[in-house]
Amino acid sequence: MSSPPPLEALTRTAEAEFARRLGRPPRWLVAAPGRVNLIGEQADYNDGFVLPMAIDRHVIIAADRPADPAATEARVYSAAVDRWTTLAVNGPAAPQPGDWAGYVQGVLVGCRAAGLAPGPFEAVVVSDVPLGGGLSSSAALEVATATLVEALTGRRLEPLPKALLCQQAEHEYAGVPCGIMDQCCSVMGRAGMLLLLDCRTREVRPTPLAGPDATVLIVNSNVKHALTDGGYAARRRQCEAAAHTLGVPALRDLTPAGLERQRGRLDDLTYRRARHVVTENERTLAAAEALRRGDLAEVGRLMSASHASLRDDYQVSCPELDLLVELAAAIGPAGGVIGSRMTGGGFGGCTVSLVRRAALEDVAHRVGEGYRQKTGRAATVFVTQPSEGARVLKGGLP
Ligand code: GLA
């Protein structure tokens, strides 16, 4: 099991990378975290409830104004793909679906539209959020970019408009019709807290994570997911079709009993997609309540039910994620596993498990070994803490 390197270590890497590429220290450093969702999956774009937390893994951007005073654009280097790109800072720019630079470009355009014109700059991006792992590497990049623009302009964006601007960049520049969970979490994360987010009212209720004994273990199946592939957008369309047929603004407006009464109006597949969403909303609210009461057994039960629903009704799991959840379930409460489920957009990526602190090493070892034996693949296992949202590390804001 690996512990994430502290933020300071990644910050030093960003500074060193900037100095190596540009021959001077950066004037600004900003960080934005990835997130893991404990429960409330595929609910945000249905106006529903989610319960994520920001994790202690980040995208860091190191930046300065260009050495060349005649420069008019942004030059950005991504260490993850080892590539420089040039981006427009003064006007419209063409979307670049599927390319990391699209996320940055989309946010630059959105910031400018919000009255924060970044001006030309040079930047280096480093990250320890696994790419395509369902931990919001893309939202972290978007939110880090918006935070950099705040630092460059010396002006703050309010948290919700900042998250919405980043979401819009993902819609328009990456072609992914995502909900608001990831960007909200990366902007608004709180140390030690899960965030119960009502995706209709956008009200955020920080919810403490279950006392000192329960820790969050993330297991990356290392099966890559790509939300740009179309499965995610297809699910969103099915949900909207179900809400339309049943005459409600969003699936948020249905209870499980209400859906059952109208079952005959939906074809079986659409019904099952809707059933996942309406039952997940109930599970998420129940999990937040159970956490407040300290009833971890109930949280675990709800996490298992969430996984089964995502696997069977929503069909966004995959054999590797199912295996990881089964391995954790086989260890069970007696071995220190409180609950386990797939997390994030699906079709690969990670599981999230609540694990008793004393059992962490053992659980990590047993799940990792079991996975290797059955699939021949190595899983990446790490423990994480609920962390603060995006911030300026160097260069400050007024
Ligand atoms: C991705 C999206 C989110 C959310 C999750 C599934 O992470 O970006 O908006 O829909 O999938 O819960």
> 15 in ligand 1 pocket by Cβ < 6 Å?
no
> What 8-state DSSP symbol labels residue 67?
S
- Laid out side by side, the sheet with 193-198 consists of 49-50, 193-198, 204-208
> 42 in ligand 1 pocket by Cβ < 6 Å?
yes
Q: What is the mean pLDDT of the chain?
A: 94
pTM > 0.85: yes or no: yes
> 41 in ligand 1 pocket by Cβ < 6 Å?
yes
Helix axes 159-169, 100-113, angle to 10 degrees: 130
Q: Which residue has its alpha carbon closest to ligand 1 atom 1?
A: 345
How close is the Cα of 220 to the center of ligand 1, in Å?
17
How close is the Cα of 348 to the center of ligand 1, in Å?
13
> 179 in ligand 1 pocket by Cβ < 6 Å?
yes
**Which of 39, 44, 252 best tests ligand 1's pocket when mutated (most atoms within 8 Å of CB)?**
44
The SS3 call for residue 218 is: strand
How close is the Cα of 177 to the center of ligand 1, in Å?
9
Q: Which ligand 1 atom lies nearest to the CA of residue 134?
A: 7
Kindly indicate the confidence band of residue 275, based on its pLDDT and cuts at 50, 70 and 90: very high
- Cα(57)–Cα(46) distance, rounded to whole angstroms? 28
- Cα(303)–Cα(309) distance, rounded to whole angstroms? 10
- Indicate the helix (H) or strand (E) that contains 272: helix 268-293
Kindly indicate the confidence band of residue 398, based on its pLDDT and cuts at 50, 70 and 90: low
pLDDT for the residue 76: 97
Q: Tell me the mean pLDDT in the region 309-319.
A: 97
pLDDT in tens, 223-254: 986 665 788 999 999 999 999 999 999 999 99
pLDDT for the residue 360: 96
Q: Look at the chain and count its residues.
A: 398
> 147 in ligand 1 pocket by Cβ < 6 Å?
no
Q: Calculate the alpha carbon distances from 352 to 117, 281, 338, 383 in Å.
A: 39, 18, 11, 10
| Contacts of 274 by beta carbon, 8 Å cutoff, 6+ apart | 239, 242, 243, 246, 251, 254, 259, 266
Q: Tell me the mean pLDDT in the region 88-108.
A: 84
> 126 in ligand 1 pocket by Cβ < 6 Å?
no
How close is the Cα of 19 to the center of ligand 1, in Å?
35
pLDDT for the residue 230: 83
Q: Which residue has its alpha carbon closest to ligand 1 atom 11?
A: 345
From the number of C-beta atoms within 10 Å of its C-beta (0-12, 13-18, 19+), residue 230 rates as exposed
Q: Tell me the mean pLDDT in the region 99-124.
A: 95
**Which of 36, 38, 42 best tests ligand 1's pocket when mutated (most atoms within 8 Å of CB)?**
42
Q: Find out if CATH 3.30.230.10 is the number for domain 7-205.
A: yes
- 209-384: CATH topology is Alpha-Beta Plaits (3.30.70)
Cα first-last separation, the chain: 40
pLDDT for the residue 12: 97
> 178 in ligand 1 pocket by Cβ < 6 Å?
yes
Question: Catalytic site residues?
Answer: 182
Q: Which residue has its alpha carbon closest to ligand 1 atom 5?
A: 345
- Cα(298)–Cα(310) distance, rounded to whole angstroms? 18
Residue identified by tokens 């007696």 is: 334
Instruction: Return the domain boundaries, the chain.
Output: 7-205, 209-384
> What 8-state DSSP symbol labels residue 172?
I
43-226-55 Cα angle (round to 5): 60
